[in-house]
Amino acid sequence: MNYDKARQIDPQADRPDAGKWRYTTSNRRVGTYAIGYCADGCPGHDTPEEAEAHQREYELDRCLRLDGRYVDAQHKCVVCNEWTQGFAHFVPMGAHYDLCDEHRTREQVEKLYSGPGERWHF
């Protein structure tokens, strides 16, 4: 089981990003490490909110899929309430939004998706 959240780098650590924040994952087997855009080359962030925003940007850029289709069901679009078989979703996180063809855009998902926050996952 992994636990994702913004974590602060030890302020006493002997490294240039000491005291900064990064979005990370943690588990018993591997430990804690930065993920997403915070993983490589990121100098760290001044606040946990900035680290979460950086991860949100990563997920919108790299994990968002706009081609989801229900095979045998319809749901109402969360924007216009019209029936649709389409949805947008994040892989592998699983968050999804039922959206019609008109509203299934990155711009619309950006309005709906507040960001990763803290979460548990396998």
What pLDDT does 122 receive? 84
DSSP annotation of 26: E
Regarding beta strands 75-76 and 64-69, do their DSSP bridges make them parallel or antiparallel, or are they unpaired? unpaired
Q: Phi/psi of residue 108, each to 5°? A: -70, -40
What pLDDT does 66 receive? 98
Domain range list for the chain: 2-113
- In order of 14, 42, 58, 95, the CA distances from 52 in angstroms are 24, 13, 10, 16
What pLDDT does 94 receive? 81
> Residues 77, 92: contact at Cβ < 8 Å?
no
Q: What is the pLDDT of residues 28-78, one digit of tens each?
A: 999 999 999 999 899 999 999 999 999 999 999 999 999 999 999 999 999
What pLDDT does 5 receive? 98
> Residues 23, 51: contact at Cβ < 8 Å?
yes
